[in-house]
């Protein structure tokens, strides 16, 4: 198999077979082609050369899942992985119709219900429904969320629904691109156990080293420099040692060959000066070339994005204020009466339960969504830069370069290319459509558009998702030195602490507090539950504990919580 994008070859002469029981970690730097390869393996693209032979059912989790009818209930989406979802909805409707006063409707429902019940039981029935609910619960999808339409869910919630759908499907082969994204520590631990016990074939991409280490029995290393996949039939720790040995071997072999070739070349140069030895000189040159031909290339140091935010545009003392913001989806109240003031150069982190309105709040502040009540008050010189966790700010139909030019029309073509080059988009890569980029590449492109925006208030929603460790560190370093204001939503404790926030904002009531180290534990804890207060008592108990023991000015208190003895 060969995969190319434009004139750039990602990989060539790739041959492998995925068998039952294979747990394969697909690794390589951002932009090497991991996401592109999984798309092609899943049948969502074609290789440039060669072929992919598929057998059995395949479950594919892309980085940015958009599958499913947005009006469909989350539980129906999951159950439909085994053909159960629509049957359950029709059963529920038949139950309602059987109580109808209309004799025709009543009779039709009475006849329909037994047939639907038989189909339901043949597809696994109540045990399958309980299994789906259990998987959903273990991924942090609460019961309330299961009865909501997909369109009402946040990006992280939607992704967990798609992951639950694939895990429930019983697919013979799973292709998972960053399955740990939007999962807290406890959910990742559960996922490790599930994947470890999974009996089918598995290829997955993840920057969660512990998940990879505990799961894989094979590693496919996609070497972007050599454009090949090295296959290691071993676990993660053994792979790391073997790969280092392979790199050292290639380096030694090349050094020895280059030394020998250099000696032959010098001899050829001396002999070439004499007409009588011209033939011998020519033979020496050929031998030198042959020594270097076929040598495996030595891996270059992986490139890392070089990011520096310019000075933000001038603004007033408080560039952004909001008063009495509230938002609901139907009968579900997301947050209410939120007031905040973002001062010039301030650093604010938003924490709260999954589904508690963090992403929605940022979208409202960015002007991407309208609040039900309240208003935004832009200050003098306000210029917002918004990073969306699902990369909605990018036009997937435009190229990398066109996205940059749209965000910064004042830049010349040369200047736009220079900025993109610092974010590792070089040569023909700038002509790729944004829609074919991996999650890490989309993150880099979205951040590049922020850098040239001159924004003085950055609204960042999970900006470290999908990034390799080196790129993540570079981005965090750049944010730490940014002179403008930053409002950050993140489950990445390291990202929050690197920002050195001054304040914390906690939906749904918009409580504000000074930052303290005690909030670090809440960042992980906040991802453990969806926003259903009676199922998340430990979050609020921890908030009260911080208030009492760290002299926090304003405690976040809820009355009548269920008692918990060992949650913290």
With vertex at residue 370, the alpha carbon angle to CA 368 and CA 373, rounded to the nearest 5 degrees, is 150
Q: What is the pLDDT of residues 411-435, one digit of tens each?
A: 899 989 988 888 888 888 898 888 8
Distance CA 15, CA 1 (A): 6
Residue 301: the pLDDT is 52
Residue 229: the pLDDT is 93
Residue 530: the pLDDT is 45
Residue 30: the pLDDT is 76
Q: Are 165 and 81 in contact (CB under 8 A)?
A: yes
User: Which residues, at least 6 apart from 107, have a Cβ–Cβ distance to it below 8 Å?
Assistant: none
**DSSP tag of 559:** S
Residue 275: the pLDDT is 61
For residue 505, report the phi and psi dihedrals to the nearest 5 degrees. Answer: -115, 130
Burial of residue 551 (CB within 10 Å: 0-12, 13-18, 19+) is exposed
Residue 552: the pLDDT is 40
- Which tokens in the block code for residue 397? 């139909």
What are the C-alpha distances in Å from 524 to residues 29, 144, 203, 539?
A: 26, 21, 27, 10
Ranges of residues in the chain with a pLDDT under 70 are 66-67, 85, 123, 272-277, 291-305, 353-355, 524-568
With vertex at residue 79, the alpha carbon angle to CA 125 and CA 58, rounded to the nearest 5 degrees, is 115
Residue 265: the pLDDT is 78
Residue 462: the pLDDT is 87
**pTM exceeding the 0.75 threshold for the entire prediction:** no
Q: What is the pLDDT of residues 108-152, one digit of tens each?
A: 888 887 887 777 777 677 788 889 999 999 998 888 888 888 888
Residue 292: the pLDDT is 67
Q: Are 1 and 11 in contact (CB under 8 A)?
A: yes
For residue 183, report the phi and psi dihedrals to the nearest 5 degrees. Answer: -110, 140
């Amino acid at each position: 198999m060969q995969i190319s994008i434009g004139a750039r070859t990602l990989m060539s002469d790739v041959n492998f077979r995925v068998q039952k029981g294979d747990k394969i970690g697909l690794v390589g730097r951002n932009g090497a082609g991991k996401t592109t390869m999984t798309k092609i393996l899943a049948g969502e693209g074609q290789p440039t050369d060669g072929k992919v032979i598929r057998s059995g059912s395949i479950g594919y989790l892309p980085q940015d899942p958009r599958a499913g009818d947005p009006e469909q209930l989350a539980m129906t989406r999951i159950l439909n992985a085994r053909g159960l979802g629509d049957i359950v909805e029709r059963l529920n409707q038949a139950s309602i119709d059987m109580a109808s006063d209309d004799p025709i409707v009543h009779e039709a429902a009475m006849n329909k219900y037994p047939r639907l019940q038989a189909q339901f039981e043949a597809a696994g029935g109540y045990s399958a429904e309980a299994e789906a609910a259990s998987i959903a619960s273990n991924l942090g999808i609460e019961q309330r969320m299961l009865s909501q339409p997909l369109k009402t869910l946040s990006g992280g919630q939607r992704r967990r629904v798609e992951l639950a759908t694939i895990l429930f499907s019983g697919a013979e082969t799973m292709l998972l691109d960053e399955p740990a994204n939007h999962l807290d520590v406890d959910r990742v631990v559960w996922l490790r156990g599930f994947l470890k016990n999974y009996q089918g074939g598995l290829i997955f991409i993840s920057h969660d080293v512990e998940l990879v280490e505990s799961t894989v029995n094979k590693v496919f290393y996609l070497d972007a420099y050599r454009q090949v996949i090295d296959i290691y039939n071993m676990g993660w720790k053994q792979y790391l040692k073997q790969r280092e040995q392979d790199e050292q071997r290639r380096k030694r072999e090349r050094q020895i060959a280059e030394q020998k070739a250099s000696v032959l070349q010098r001899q050829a140069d001396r002999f070439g000066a004499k007409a009588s030895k011209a033939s011998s000189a020519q033979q020496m040159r050929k031998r030198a070339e042959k020594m270097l031909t076929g040598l495996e290339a030595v891996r270059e140091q992986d490139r890392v994005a070089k990011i520096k935010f310019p000075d933000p545009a001038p603004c007033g003392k408080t560039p952004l204020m909001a008063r009495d913001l509230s938002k609901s989806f139907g009968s579900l109240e997301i947050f209410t009466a939120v007031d905040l003031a973002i001062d010039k150069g301030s650093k604010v982190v938003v924490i709260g339960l999954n589904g508690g309105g963090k992403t929605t709040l940022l979208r409202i502040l960015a002007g991407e969504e309208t609040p039900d009540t309240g208003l935004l008050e832009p200050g003098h010189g306000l210029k917002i830069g918004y990073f969306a966790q699902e990369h909605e700010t990018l036009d997937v139909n435009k190229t990398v370069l066109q996205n940059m030019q749209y965000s910064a029309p004042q830049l010349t073509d040369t200047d736009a290319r220079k900025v993109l080059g610092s974010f590792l988009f070089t040569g023909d890569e700038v002509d790729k459509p944004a829609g074919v980029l991996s999650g890490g590449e989309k993150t880099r492109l979205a951040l590049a558009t922020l850098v040239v925006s001159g924004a003085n208030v950055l609204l960042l929603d999970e900006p470290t998702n999908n990034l390799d460790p080196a790129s993540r560190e570079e981005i965090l370093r750049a944010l730490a030195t940014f002179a403008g204001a930053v409002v950050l939503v993140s489950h990445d404790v390291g990202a929050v602490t690197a920002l050195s926030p001054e304040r914390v904002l906690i939906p749904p009531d918009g409580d504000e507090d000074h930052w303290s180290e005690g909030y670090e534990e809440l960042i992980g804890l906040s991802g453990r539950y969806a926003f259903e207060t009676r199922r998340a008592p430990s979050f609020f108990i921890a908030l009260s504990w911080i208030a009492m023991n760290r002299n926090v000015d304003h405690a976040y208190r809820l009355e009548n919580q269920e008692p918990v003895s060992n949650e913290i």
